[in-house]
Amino acid sequence: MATTTPSLLKRITPQLIILAVVLGLNLLVFPDFFDVSFRNGRIFGNLVDVFNRGAPVALLCIGMTLVIATKGIDLSVGAVMAIAGATAASLVTDGHGWGTALIGALATGALCGAWNGVLVAVLRIQPIVATLVLMVAGRGIAQLITEGTILTFNNEGLIRLGAGTVLGIPTPIVIWLALGTLATLAVRRTALGMLIEAIGVNEASSRLAGINSRVLLICVYLASGLCAALAGVIVAADIKGADANNAGLWLELDAILAVVIGGNSLLGGRFSIVASLIGALIIQSVNSVILLSGMPPEFNLVIKAILILAILVIQSPKIGHLIYMLRASGPESLPERARPSAAPKEDAP
């Protein structure tokens, strides 16, 4: 059901606070952080960079949020990015237009997603295992398409998808904001979101209530494949070439992190795409603060790991429960432990 604005705001408050803190850190180390200038027909600025560089993970986490809401996970998105980028690059180098290349890349992504979906929904293979297959084989397939080289291209239309602008705003930003809005509307203005959540919380009940969980599961993985394909095209367009080895490498992990930082439980159920997108921005802002602080770049990963660990530990159900217990300081009512769920939910009175 459509989420009313106040409840959405309440849902994403923790993420907004974290984002504000990280952005504040950015400002602290780099006072001009929020400055935005307009030159050569496009906007520039560190904040713009955060939004621009965060595009691939933001796109991935749209699909990933849906998958995780069904109690699943999609490890293959990084590999699918590589496949889609390779497809697009090989299509334009074969002389096709950028439209064909984009559609071709999206079709491959959809195919990969459908494959994952069938393994999960029909063959009933654990999602982490099912998507591992494509994660392992996917880069090989991408290299098969590029024949092992970095397939470069100079198709203007395709390049514009990664490096161009729309009304002065970098295209990737426009794409992920548009897709994020579209996806949010698609799940909240229709019944899709609720049905997906129902499957994630209790598939047995959902089936008995008449939900076609099999088809819905396939669709969710398909959507994840599509998002990955789009991210793959953007990354390829940005560097004007398809690098089957490195395109989207380990981005599945960033995307999963973004979803988890977004307060979505890996156990499925209630989800918020907006919160995941903020999670993606948080990750990118962390990268930015490390970069801008002038710290030696070799510290990046350690600091990122520690920050993320801190965010996750704060959000862990156990800690949330502990805080809740301390606050309530009442006697334990039930011997069983409460079902683990995302911290924000636990905090609600």
Partner 1 sequence: MRHRRKMQDQPPLLHASGISKFFPGAVALDEVELKLYPGEVHALLGENGAGKSTLIKCLTGAYRRDGGVIRLAGEEVDPKSTADAQGLGIGTVYQEVNLLPNLTVAENLYMGRQPTRLGLVNRRAMNRAAAEVLEGYGLHIDPGEPLTSFSVAVQQVVAIARAVALSGKVLILDEPTASLDRDEVDLLFGVIRQLKERGLSIVFITHFLDQVFEISDRATVLRNGRVVGERLLAEVSQHDIITLMLGRQLEARVAEKKGGKPGELLLQVNDLAKRGMIEPFSLNLHRGEVVGLAGLLGSGRTETANLLFGAVQADQGKLLLEGRETRITNPREAIAHRFALCPEDRKTDGIVGDLSVRDNIILALQARQGWMRPIPRSKVNEIAEHYVKALDIRLASLDMPIRLLSGGNQQKALLARWLATEPEFLILDEPTRGIDVGAHAEIIALIERLRENGMALLVASSELEELVAYSTRVVVLRDRRQVRELTGDEITADNIVHAIADEQKGAA
Partner 2 sequence: MIRSTHLPLMVTLATFVLAYALCASQYPAMLSTRVVANLLTDNAFLGIVAVGMTFVILSGGIDLSVGSVIAFTGVFLAVILRDTSIHPLAAFALVLALTTGFGAAMGATIHYLEMPPFIVTLAGMFLARGAAYVLSTDSVPITHEFYDTLQDIYYKAPGGGRFRLIGGLMLLTFIAGALIAHRTRFGQNVYALGGGAQTARLMGVPLASTTVGIYAISGGLAGLAGIVFSLYTSAGYSLATVGVELDAIAAVVIGGTLLSGGYGFVAGTFFGILIMGLIQTYIVFDGTLSSWWTKIVIGALLFAFILLQKGLTWATTTRRKRATGSAQPS
Residue 96 binding partner per list partner 2, partner 1, none, with a CB distance cut-off of 5 to 8 Å that depends on partner kind: none
Is 329 a binding residue for partner 1 by CB under 8 A? The answer is: no
Is 197 a binding residue for partner 1 by CB under 8 A? The answer is: yes
Tell me the C-alpha to C-alpha distance, in Å, between residue 117 and each of 70, 128, 273: 12, 12, 20
Residue 179 binding partner per list partner 1, partner 2, none, with a CB distance cut-off of 5 to 8 Å that depends on partner kind: none
Is 338 a binding residue for partner 2 by CB under 8 A? The answer is: no
DSSP character at residue 45: -
Binds partner 1 by CB under 8 A, chosen from 5, 40, 329, 333? 333
Is 317 a binding residue for partner 2 by CB under 8 A? The answer is: yes
Binds partner 2 by CB under 8 A, chosen from 36, 182, 313, 325? 313
Phi-psi region of 140 (alpha: psi -120 to 50; beta: other; left: phi over 0): alpha
Question: From CA 265, how far away is CA 256, in angstroms rounded?
Answer: 11
Binds partner 1 by CB under 8 A, chosen from 181, 189, 246, 347? 189
Among residues 94, 74, 70, which one has the least CA distance to residue 211?
70
How many chain residues are in contact with partner 1, going by CB under 8 A? 31
Least distance (Å) between residue 203 CB and partner 2: 12
Tell me the C-alpha to C-alpha distance, in Å, between residue 125 and each of 8, 122, 132: 34, 8, 11
How many CB atoms are closer than 10 A to CB 49? 17
Question: From CA 80, how far away is CA 108, in angstroms rounded?
Answer: 8
Is 8 a binding residue for partner 1 by CB under 8 A? The answer is: no
Question: From CA 17, how far away is CA 347, in angstroms rounded?
Answer: 15
Is 126 a binding residue for partner 1 by CB under 8 A? The answer is: no
Residue 195 binding partner per list partner 2, partner 1, none, with a CB distance cut-off of 5 to 8 Å that depends on partner kind: partner 1
Phi-psi region of 52 (alpha: psi -120 to 50; beta: other; left: phi over 0): alpha
Cβ contacts of residue 49 below 8 Å, gap of 6+?
288
Least distance (Å) between residue 166 CB and partner 2: 34
Is 299 a binding residue for partner 2 by CB under 8 A? The answer is: yes
Which residue number, 142 or 198, has a Cβ lying nearer to partner 1?
198
Rounded to a whole number, what is the distance in angstroms from the first to the last CA of the chain?
22
Could you say which residues in the range 227-266 bind partner 1, by CB under 8 A?
A: none
Among residues 250, 265, 277, which one has the least CA distance to residue 312?
265
How many CB atoms are closer than 10 A to CB 193? 23
- Mark the segment that binds partner 2 (CB under 8 A) among 14-22, 97-105, 134-142, 269-277: 134-142
Question: Tokens for 94?
Answer: 């074969």
Is 210 a binding residue for partner 1 by CB under 8 A? The answer is: yes
Question: Tokens for 77?
Answer: 């998105």
Least distance (Å) between residue 251 CB and partner 1: 29
Are the C-beta atoms of residues 225 and 112 closer than 8 Å to each other? yes
- Mark the segment that binds partner 1 (CB under 8 A) among 192-200, 240-248, 284-292, 293-301: 192-200
Residues that bind partner 2 (CB under 8 A): 73, 123-126, 128-130, 132-144, 147-148, 244, 249, 253, 256-257, 260, 266, 297-306, 308-309, 312-313, 316-319, 340
User: Footprint of partner 1 on this chain (CB under 8 A)?
Assistant: 1-2, 7, 189-192, 194-195, 197-198, 201-202, 204-212, 216, 269-270, 333-335, 339, 341, 345
